[in-house]
Amino acid sequence: MKKSLSIIIALLAFQFTYGQSAASSISGEVRDAITKQPLPGSNIVIVGTTLGATCDMNGYFVIKNIKIGKYQLKVSSTGYESQTNSDVVIAPNRNLKISFDLKTSAVQMKEIQIMSTYFSHSTESPLSVRTLSPEEIRRSPGSAEDIFRVMQSMPGVATAGGKSAQLIVRGGSPDENRTLLDNIEIYNPIHFARTGESMGIISIVNPALLEKVDFLTGGFPAKYGDKMSSVFEMTLQDGNKELFNTDVNANIAGFGVMVDGPVSENGSAIFSLRRGFFDILTSIMNKPAAPRYYDAVGKLTYNLDSKNRISLVGFYYLDQIDKQGTTKESTSSSKYDYMKRDDYGTAFGINWRSLVSSKAFTLTTLSFTGNGWTTKQGTLTDPALLGEDILENEFSLKSELTYEISKDINIKLGGMYKAIDSHNDSWTPADTLRTGEIKNAATISYNPDMTNKSYLFAQVETKLFPSIQLSAGLRFERFALTNESNLSPRLALTYNLLDNTSLNLAFGKYFQTPASYQISPDVRNLELKSALATHYVAGIEQRISDDTRATIEVYYKELASLFVSPNDTSNLLLNTGSGYAKGIEVSMQKKFNGGVVGSASYSYSISKRRDNASASLYDFEYDRPHIINLIGGMELGDGWQIGAKFQFASGNPYTPVDGVAKKAGQYYLIDGAINSARYPDYHKIDVRVDKQFNFDKWSLTAYLDLWNIYNRDNITSYSFKAGTAGEIITTPRYDFGITPIIGITAKF
């Protein structure tokens, strides 16, 4: 704690010592969305004012002497579609960095006014994509400014409850989601979550660091792989080149500081450091568990010349839990009173973007990612009855080439090689399960030789006719440990029915290799092959106005070769599972404009699994047929904002207890049919109120995020046990009741 505060104080002192006093400004870059070439001469205007700028030869612009307030920023360039950013908040004595990637207009080189758009649209991912800005994340009610909690309100995404920030996408499990941070793979982006678990409290990445977030929930292109459900891609801002900015924030979850600004004539940096408060809160409440977390994320960007840019990205987190209760001897791990758990992860990488010609650029990434955890659990008299020590390090090199052959055709080629070093040591005592089955004591020591993964991909985007765009890709993947190779075709098509209406289709095969934690418990698991999901997606998008759109999408995911455990007493996994997920999603989204923002979505889905070809289908544990999300917000004037969110989700399935059986004088539970019962429906309303106070050289934003305002008792699970008289004792576990989250952010 003292060390973290010392670093934060040093960062603040640096900013106040070297940060220069200046009026508020906006700076950024305007580039071609395909080739990343700068667009000199592009016009940037602050809507409703006389302020604006023109890009220089490097596509860079600065608008100075801007009064504090909220604005819209519009950019236009000859031959390109105009874009509008409606989330431009100007604070005192700060520089706001905003960059634009412009798409070529369908109407070329004509002196006409092209309607500006608030929505980005990619031909390689024409549907099942949501893009959010940091300001959209910040003001979202019920999220406490957490990226992943905001995404839980997207169409087709089910909330795991207030106690978890994990994403459940179109009936898939949380471990089917790929997370990237500036082109570097992050295995665990959420504090207190482990690979394969559905829990996790808060995102590791401070949203103030982000330029944007892209969330792809199906039909994603060939550059992405090794996951079956979704891709979550976070793009960090470059530090601004004009002056130093400092953010200091605190809420019930923790305290942090962010600094960004120039470090040389050609370089800039942005950095965030946070420390959690959970251990302090649990100590005040006299709870036995003391969870604490730390995270640090940063980026240093340097322009070697006008065509070459490198960026160094760093990511680190540490989660720790110490729990001590009363001494209680028990063979049931769920009743152990002592636990010491450390989770840690790091990622460091360098990205090199090179404009190799006026029509092409390359992006090359060299990175290291490490992820691991240690656990000791038991009683106070024997605190290490069970435990684990797991580590996985990866070294990867990947590169992509994007080449625009013509205005109607562009290609992407890329590949990656990854070296993997895994270690897994664990031990468990003999145990009697609640059904009376005996699970023998086991010790696992899995330390294989270094292995590797690799892939190659090719993607072509072309305009077949003026109203039809096609994206076709092919991906080859190899996993040396299981001696497996897979070929994945991808296809997406957009048909512009009318000026503001498009029909979008996508198809693709998505393989997911077994993770080391799945292979390690039994040597026979080396025979596992990749699980497979085949996506079929169709949708219609209607632009109602430049700031409002409506979409309807239907999807079907066919699942094969899923990992299945044949029984509860063995660590063996088989590829005998199969199933499907299907559904329909209807949504409407209005970007912030005129002081009002909002969205509404309804999703209906079915997610089924079977454990082998002869078994019956059952509801998957993450199946939630009906999901409704209603979100709205508005400005009230004088720095006040208010927002509200209503969430509804069908209760997810669980396996009930049908009765008890007596064995050797002890009662044990008899399970019913797998996932044949459901928890009660989940619903709540969250309300957020913000107030911004502007001073001469700094600003303060205070907010109250009130979760579950009508104090709904949402049941997240049941625990069952057999009583001494043979009765079934059922104990519900509840999500958060009415919960106030108070936070402040000071900007200097």
Write the pLDDT tens digit of every residue in 332-370. 445 677 888 899 999 999 999 999 999 999 999 999 999
Rounded distance between C-alpha atoms, residue 646 and residue 166, angstroms: 19
Structure tokens at 577: 């599972």
* Final residue of a structural domain among 87, 102, 117: 102
Does 707 fall in a domain? yes
Question: Mind giving me the DSSP string for 269-332?
Answer: EEEEEEEE-HHHHHHHTT-SEEEEEEEEEEEEEEESSSSEEEEEEEEEEEEEEEE-------S-
What number is the average pLDDT over the span 379-407? 90
Q: What is the pLDDT of residue 744?
A: 92
Does 121 fall in a domain? no
Rounded distance between C-alpha atoms, residue 524 and residue 520, angstroms: 9
375, 259, 271: which is closest to 314 by C-alpha? 271
pLDDT digits over 80-109, tens only? 989 988 888 899 999 999 999 998 886 544
Whether residues 14 and 161 fall in one domain: no
Rounded distance between C-alpha atoms, residue 35 and residue 355, angstroms: 8
Tell me how many domains the chain contains: 2
Query: Whole domain around residue 83: which residue ranges?
Result: 2-102
Whether residues 538 and 685 fall in one domain: yes
Residue 741: what are its φ and ψ, rounded to 5°?
-115, 115
Q: What is the pLDDT of residue 282?
A: 65
550 to 303, 503, 540: CA distances (angstroms): 40, 12, 8
User: Which helix (H) or strand (E) covers residue 602, if one does?
Assistant: strand 596-610
311, 419, 424, 422: which is closest to 374 by C-alpha? 424
Rounded distance between C-alpha atoms, residue 290 and residue 295, angstroms: 17
Does 366 fall in a domain? yes
Structure tokens at 55: 């890009």
Rounded distance between C-alpha atoms, residue 349 and residue 636, angstroms: 43
Q: What is the pLDDT of residue 114?
A: 42
- What is the CATH classification number for the domain harbouring 78? 2.60.40.1120
∠ CA 222-225-227 to the nearest 5 degrees?
140
The band of 121, judged by pLDDT with boundaries at 50, 70 and 90, is low
Ranges 8-17, 304-313, 656-665: which has the least confidence:
8-17
Ranges 149-163, 256-270, 318-332, 398-412: which has the least confidence:
318-332
Whether residues 206 and 83 fall in one domain: no
Please determine, for residue 458, whether its predicted confidence score (pLDDT) is greater than 80.
Answer: yes
Residue 141: what are its φ and ψ, rounded to 5°?
-70, 145
Cα 564 → chain centroid: 26
The model's pTM is 0.90
Rounded distance between C-alpha atoms, residue 302 and residue 271, angstroms: 15
Percentage with pLDDT > 70 across the chain: 91
Structure tokens at 169: 């996408």
Q: What is the pLDDT of residue 675?
A: 94
* Mean pLDDT over the full length of the chain: 88
Whether residues 77 and 161 fall in one domain: no
The band of 594, judged by pLDDT with boundaries at 50, 70 and 90, is confident
Whether residues 94 and 198 fall in one domain: no
Ranges 53-57, 311-315, 657-661: which has the least confidence:
657-661
Does 344 fall in a domain? yes
Sign of the torsion formed by the C-alpha atoms of 43, 45, 47 and 51: negative
Rounded distance between C-alpha atoms, residue 328 and residue 335, angstroms: 8
By residue count, the chain amounts to 748
170, 257, 276, 165: which is closest to 209 by C-alpha? 257
Residues 6+ apart with CB under 8 A from 193: 164, 165, 166, 174, 199, 200, 201
SS3 260: strand
Whether residues 637 and 708 fall in one domain: yes
Rounded distance between C-alpha atoms, residue 291 and residue 341, angstroms: 9
Whether residues 81 and 135 fall in one domain: no
Q: What is the pLDDT of residue 384?
A: 81
What number is the average pLDDT over the span 42-56? 94
Whether residues 394 and 471 fall in one domain: yes
Does 123 fall in a domain? no
Percent of the chain that is helix, strand, coil (3-state, to 5):
5, 60, 35
pLDDT digits over 188-223, tens only? 888 888 765 556 788 888 888 999 899 999 999 999
Long-range contacts of 609-616 (CB under 8 A, 24+ apart): 609/559, 609/562, 609/577, 609/578, 609/579, 610/577, 610/578, 610/579, 611/564, 611/566, 611/576, 611/577, 612/564, 612/574, 612/576, 612/577, 613/576, 613/578
Q: Exposed (0-12), middle (13-18) or buried (19+): which is 604, by Cβ within 10 Å?
A: middle
What number is the average pLDDT over the span 229-233? 93
Whether residues 93 and 136 fall in one domain: no
Whether residues 85 and 133 fall in one domain: no
Does 60 fall in a domain? yes
- What is the CATH classification number for the domain harbouring 597? 2.40.170.20
The band of 287, judged by pLDDT with boundaries at 50, 70 and 90, is low
Whether residues 43 and 180 fall in one domain: no
Rounded distance between C-alpha atoms, residue 455 and residue 420, angstroms: 14
Using DSSP, how many helices (H) and how many strands (E) does the chain show?
Answer: 5, 47
Does 542 fall in a domain? yes
707, 476, 553, 718: which is closest to 218 by C-alpha? 553
Residue 278: what are its φ and ψ, rounded to 5°?
-60, -40
Rounded distance between C-alpha atoms, residue 668 and residue 677, angstroms: 20
Rounded distance between C-alpha atoms, residue 377 and residue 6, angstroms: 33
Does 217 fall in a domain? yes
Q: What is the pLDDT of residue 515?
A: 87
Whether residues 82 and 167 fall in one domain: no
Rounded distance between C-alpha atoms, residue 49 and residue 41, angstroms: 20
Give the position of tokens 């949203």.
Answer: 207
Please determine, for residue 274, whether its predicted confidence score (pLDDT) is greater than 50.
Answer: yes
634, 739, 648: which is closest to 689 by C-alpha? 634
